[in-house]
Amino acid sequence: YRLGTALADVFNDVRGVRASVVEGKDNRNSLQRMLAGDAELAVAFSDSEGDGEVRTLVPLYELYLYIIVWEDAAIPDVPALKGRKVGAGPAGSGTDSVARRLLGHYGFDSGGVQVVNDSHRTISKAFLKRELDAVFLLGSIESKAVSRMLRAPGTKLLSLDDPERVAPVMDGIVSKHPFVVSHIIPKHLFGAKPANPTGVIGVHALLVARSELSDERARDLTRSVFAHKVQL
């Protein structure tokens, strides 16, 4: 919502454009709201699903799926989550969507891992009380939520694979889901953690428009994003 408001301010400087923000309520999928005619533009994750034609104007930023586990829980990799209880944010959220795609890559889409859906605050509290074995968080490169979790003694980031290995797991997931991105979280990004470079996957946040948006207007809006990149 904050980004949408900033974008609207930028777009209002474009000749012939009057922009306002349509705030989501029960429907978390901004792409669906745009396709339903509630908006002309939307900020949507690259793995969003919808029935209709859209055009991408520009990728805005990346979000990464962090997996936080307990150091003493004997969870060296994702397959070790079998039979475990993991938190994945609210049902249908970006965290839940990307986490389920990751679990599906390992054959856990039909069970094998107990996924708990609730608010991020409730999930975080349950994990810190050790009521959960792991927690998924979809966040930016310096996510404050991830930083808070990693400050708890005994927590660590789980790497999908050794980033230095030839053809790591991340590449296999991207080949199956081209809308997913592969990334390496640098060593000690969050203070003393992670202890080693950590392989993760993520998604792009995209600025998209309905397909009938004119080429001229699409160029004007995209140019405006880049002209105000630092501000945004």
Listed in sequence order, the DSSP H helices in the chain are 2-11, 30-35, 94-105, 120-128, 144-150, 169-176, 215-227
3-state secondary structure at position 113: coil
Q: What secondary structure letter does DSSP report for 69?
A: E
Q: What is the pTM of this model?
A: 0.89
Phi, psi angle pair for 201, to nearest 5°: -120, 165
The pLDDT-based confidence of 90 (bands split at 50, 70, 90) is very high
Segment 155-182 shows an average pLDDT of 93
pLDDT at 2: 87
The pLDDT-based confidence of 188 (bands split at 50, 70, 90) is very high
Q: Give which of 154, 163, 128 is closest to 74, Cα–Cα.
A: 154
CB 194 within 8 A of CB 188: yes
What digits encode the pLDDT tens for the residues 200-228?
Answer: 999 999 999 999 999 999 999 999 999 99
pLDDT at 159: 97
The pLDDT-based confidence of 49 (bands split at 50, 70, 90) is confident
CB 165 within 8 A of CB 184: no
pLDDT at 28: 63
112: left (phi over 0), alpha (psi -120 to 50) or beta: left
Gyration radius of the chain over CA positions? 19
Using the predicted structure, report yes or no on whether residue 29 has a pLDDT greater than 80. Answer: no
